[in-house]
Chain A
Amino acid sequence: MIHLEGICKTFRVARRQAGFSQAVKALFRREYALVHALRDVSFSVSKGEMVGYIGPNGAGKSSTIKIMSGILTPDRGKCQINGLTPWEQRRRHAASIGVVFGQRSQLWWDVPVADSFLLLRDIYRMDKDTFKKSQDELVTLFQLSEIIQTPARQLSLGQRMRCEIAASLLHRPEILFLDEPTIGLDAVSKIAVRNFIKQINKERGTTVILTTHDMQDIEALTERIILIGKGRILKDGSLADLKKHCSSFKTLAVEYSEGDPVSDAYIANLPGLSLQSAVAGRAVFTLDTQTLSVSSAVTALSQRAELTDLTITGATAEEMVVSLYKEYQI
């Protein structure tokens, strides 16, 4: 259903340096740098899948979403979605996708949400019955009945996000792109938004592609993860596989009363053990159990310091990502 092959994209940006003399210099000559936003990105997604697309800021997530939704044209490569090339058959393609940009609103700010929905009905050329059915369905599912008559500007961020997602689903798109849908939401709203996405995927069979920095989103929603860094696809696999790959990593937190394992040269040079954070009397390490066993790490630490407390925890999705970023140096 979605098929990307060898997508490349380069941007040219002006380089700007700080300082007064540099500003004067830039008055006459500007330097440009080439940024390779995407290099040879390929993947396929089949119908009904939910895919988490992750990577640090500036890795190329948004560029990929923009290419798939027809906003950007890549320099090279092929992209077929439902048999269409998004940037060439933009309008036909747009009718079958929904896009949510987490940081930007698509609702008209000063009128009730219902009015925005009505306008969207006309923009997407829906007939009355289809629209009504779809809207009723979404209102029930997202529990919008109480807020649909409120102007968007008076809604809380969580309520607004529910309306945003509903707005992009009105025309029953086959694919939903979500660019950081939970950004800035409180814990309760986050969970609600996740549940809605899950339900839509289940009930309408909508294919969902989601970018996020929140690993709980990933854990709650997706089975498959695509990791991108510096414009390249680094990993593409199931969440379980990735976790297995990372399960050799443990977090080791110690509290101590005497000695100093933090600045100790022996500990610092121990392969497989690296310091995450430290405050006086407490240190947190990441331990790679394939290089160093738990018992030898504990032994080494207790030789160097008088330990008063010790906890060992396995990797969460969060830590998994941190270790992946570290592994690929992105």
Chain B
Amino acid sequence: MRLYGKYMLILLKCQMQYKTSFILTAIGQFLSSFSAFLGIYFMMTRFNAVNGFTLEEVMLCFAAVLMAFSLAECFFRGFDTFSTIISNGEFDRILVRPRNEIFQVLASKMEFTRIGRLFQAVLVFCYAIPASGIHWTFDKIATLILMIVGGIGVFCGLFIIYAALCFFTTEGLEVMNILTDGGREFGKYPLSVYGKGILKFFTYAVPHALFQYYPLLYLTDRSDSKLYMLLPLLALGFLIPCLIIWKIGVRHYRSTGS
């Protein structure tokens, strides 16, 4: 953990060497998520509700997913950009160092410009948390935090799968964008709006709904099942198969090289 802090410090120093670029990229991140927000705002003011959810409720959902995604992108960037780590030989370097591979991949890349997106999420929270009319008990606050934590876990798991696939091929992996970028874009709305089939897919195949739709039901008093509040923790279990796939990938790399 101490070593992780050291890595973080050195990466922060590196990115601060290019201050203008850093600030502009962060602004760009903010603006693009602001556009997404305006899209929601326009739609919700025109239709008032979707699938029974109000603007404020959708905003809570949007901000939680956005925050989870931007934190995952910031701290698990190494997996997200793993194809370059392989192609520029950085992974060879990682393997000749006496530390765990996963730790090194995590620690070697962090993308602090995602603060732009994070800021947008915070702004939306600032408005939606009081405006949603939710009575914020301890349980509700815990649910919201669990949603974000679970989201970080699921996005991180998807990045790890993407990285593991890079060991086999780098072609055609943009399909994964449906689950990562798509998860962010379409996760703006509670996943039930896409119909039962899609909801099932995002519950059993990839667990987006576990940190998004179900806890939101609890949060907005549509359900009082404590289980829904704790489902984001189950979503973290998604990391286990992801790590297994990663292990298989590393073994494959060792036997083929770059």
Contact = CB atoms under 8 A, between A and B. Distances in A.
A101 B98 contact: no
Interface string B1-38: 01100110011011001100000000000000000000
B96 A94 contact: yes
Contacts of B97: 94, 123-124
A72 B98 contact: no
12 contacts: A70-B96, A71-B95, A72-B254, A73-B255, A91-B100, A104-B89, A104-B92, A106-B93, A110-B14, A110-B17, A122-B3, A124-B98
Contact of B10 (A11, A95, A97, A115): A115
Contacts of B45: none
A111 B14 contact: yes
Interface string A180-195: 0000000000000000
A266 interface: no
4 nearest CB pairs, A to B: A95-B98, A110-B14, A94-B98, A73-B254
Interface string A81-116: 000000100111011010101011010111100011
A95 B96 CA distance: 8
Contacts of B93: 99, 101, 104, 106
Contacts of B256: 11-12, 72
Nearest to B171: A14
B196 interface: no
Given A94-B98, A101-B93, A87 B254 contact: yes
Nearest to B251: A73
Contacts of A75: 255
A95 B99 CA distance: 9
Interface in B116-159: none
Interface in B177-236: none
A174 B102 CA distance: 26
B10 A108 contact: yes
Given A87-B254, A101-B92, A123 B99 contact: yes
Question: Which secondary structure dominates chain B's binding surface?
Answer: helix
Nearest to B93: A106
A151 B95 CA distance: 25
Contact of A91 (B17, B98, B251, B255): B98
A203 B177 CA distance: 54
A63 interface: yes
Interface of B: 2-3, 6-7, 10-11, 13-14, 17-18, 88-90, 92-93, 95-100, 251, 254-257
A69 interface: yes
A30 B257 CA distance: 21
Nearest to A108: B10
Given A94-B96, A94-B98, A119-B7, A11 B257 contact: yes
Count class of interface residues, chain A: 35 or more
Contact of A123 (B3, B13, B255, B257): B3
Given A108-B10, A110-B13, A115-B10, A70 B2 contact: no
Given A63-B257, A73-B255, A106-B93, A123 B88 contact: no
A66 interface: yes
A12 B255 CA distance: 11
Nearest to B11: A108
A125 B90 CA distance: 21
Contacts of B11: 108
Contacts of A72: 254-257
Nearest to A62: B257
A66 B92 CA distance: 8
A71 B92 contact: yes
Contacts of A104: 88-90, 92-93
A92 B13 contact: no
Contacts of A115: 10, 13
B10 A122 contact: no
B254 A123 contact: no
Contact of A111 (B13, B88, B92): B13
Q: Which of B2, B14, B97 has the most CB of A within 10 A?
A: B97
Contacts of A99: 93, 96
Nearest to A75: B255
A33 to B, nearest CB: 14
A91 B99 contact: yes
A189 B98 CA distance: 30
Given A66-B92, A108-B14, A71 B254 contact: yes
Nearest to A91: B98
Contacts of B100: 91
Interface in A35-79: 63, 66, 69-73, 75
B14 A70 contact: no
Nearest to A118: B6
Contacts of A103: 89
